[in-house]
Amino acid sequence: MDTQSLTRSRLSPMGNPPKLISVRQISFTGLIAWGFALVWLVVTTLPIWWIFNIVFSQGGSAAALSPHLYPTSLSSGFLHLQQALSQASFLQAYLVSSGYACLQVSGMLLIVSMAAYEFTFYEFPGKHTLFLIALSGLMMPFAVTLIPLYRVVTALGWTNSLQGLAVPGMASAFALFVLRQFMEGIPIELLDAARIDGASHFAVYWRIVLPLSRNALLTVSILSFIAAWGNYIWPLVITTKPEWYTISVTTAQFFGFQSYTTIEIVMASALLAALPPLIVYIFLQRYIIDGITLAGLKG
């Protein structure tokens, strides 16, 4: 698979948009395809719609027991959202998760882009071996490193802290792979021109390469943000005090004790927990799809 040309054309601002191949014919199979498409549309959206439906309905368990297919009360929906937000533990978890995701994304961006810059534009002894070692991270199963990682992080005294949550995820082999693919498309003449103007090694990276890699940086940031926001297993292990629980751990607990609060408020919490990735998806969908495509077609 020609991933390089794919990345360049879809991620670069200069490339052409990809052409759609159409094998179109109006026929019986076409009708089946349409039917199938509509059924799957219902399957994918109904559970999410259902949550909306419950949040934006009158209280009590009525929504769950006598179902209707559309929301009935806007005002009680906002009330439920407000009630969800007024739970101190939920707001705290929202803050912790935001801090965790932002710290992980910004740290990742800095260290990975520096490494990608060196691997793309410079020659140095051991380059090939180092790159292979870094790429081995693509197939390193997290479940396997969990116990020893816990050992390292507790030894550093980082349990119940933002750095304990965020730092282990920063050296992302996936982000390195995407950024390097992208940087290969930057014309070397631009770097040479900057050097002639007296730019240092670091200045070329900071003033030329980073700004030109904006799209790729955005792609890896979005994917890393979504991953950090949704991560459950690592926060479950590394946070022991309730004030350090992330949104994943806290929301899972809300669903755990079913008598703790009403289903409307639990669902309102779920909706709020899904909000940041949903907003990112709605506005920056193209970058997510590009990143996933590249990840899927790697190699």
Partner 1 sequence: MTAKRPFRFPAYAKSYLMLAPFFILFGVFSLGPLLSGIAISFTKWNGISQPTFVGLSNYMTVINSPRFGKAFSNLLVYVAVTVPVGIALAFCIALVVNRLKGPVSHLFRSAYFLPTVIPLFLTAVIWRWLLTPDFGLINMGITFLRLPQPNWLGDPTFMIPALVMADAWRATGFNMVIFLAGMKNIPNEYYEAATIDGANGLAKIRFIMVPALGPVFLLVIVNAVISALQIFDLPWLMTNSSFSSYGGPLQGMLFPVMDVMGRGFGGRRFGEAAAIATILFVLILSVTIAQLALRRRWRVF
User: Which residue reads 């979504």 in tokens?
Assistant: 226
- Does the protein bind partner 1 through residue 117 (CB under 8 A)? yes
- Does the protein bind partner 1 through residue 2 (CB under 8 A)? yes
> At its nearest, how many Å lie between partner 1 and the CB of residue 187?
20
Q: Are 143 and 132 in contact (CB under 8 A)?
A: no
- Does the protein bind partner 1 through residue 152 (CB under 8 A)? yes
Site string for partner 1, 258-277 (x = CB under 8 A): ------------x--xx--x
- Does the protein bind partner 1 through residue 67 (CB under 8 A)? yes
Interaction residues for partner 1, span 7-46 (CB under 8 A):
18-25, 27, 29-30, 33-34, 36-37, 40-41, 43-46
- What is the Cα 23 distance to its own chain's centre? 33
Rg (CA), the chain: 23
Q: Which of 14, 74, 132, 140 binds partner 1 (CB under 8 A)?
A: 140
- Does the protein bind partner 1 through residue 130 (CB under 8 A)? yes
- The amino acid occupying position 99 is G
- Does the protein bind partner 1 through residue 230 (CB under 8 A)? yes
Interaction residues for partner 1, span 167-196 (CB under 8 A):
167-171, 173, 176
How many positions of this chain bind partner 1 (CB under 8 A)?
102
Contacts 24+ apart (CB under 8 A), 256-262: 261/87, 262/59, 262/60, 262/61
Q: Which of 80, 191, 248, 265 binds partner 1 (CB under 8 A)?
A: 248
> At its nearest, how many Å lie between partner 1 and the CB of residue 229?
6
- Does the protein bind partner 1 through residue 112 (CB under 8 A)? yes
Q: Please tell me the distance from the alpha carbon of residue 26 to that of residue 28, in angstroms, as a whole number.
A: 7
- Does the protein bind partner 1 through residue 251 (CB under 8 A)? yes
Q: Are 92 and 282 in contact (CB under 8 A)?
A: no
- CA-closest candidate to residue 190, choices 243, 117, 278: 117
- Does the protein bind partner 1 through residue 229 (CB under 8 A)? yes
Burial class (CB in 10 A: 0-12, 13-18, 19+), 104: buried
Q: Enter the DSSP assignment of 133.
A: H
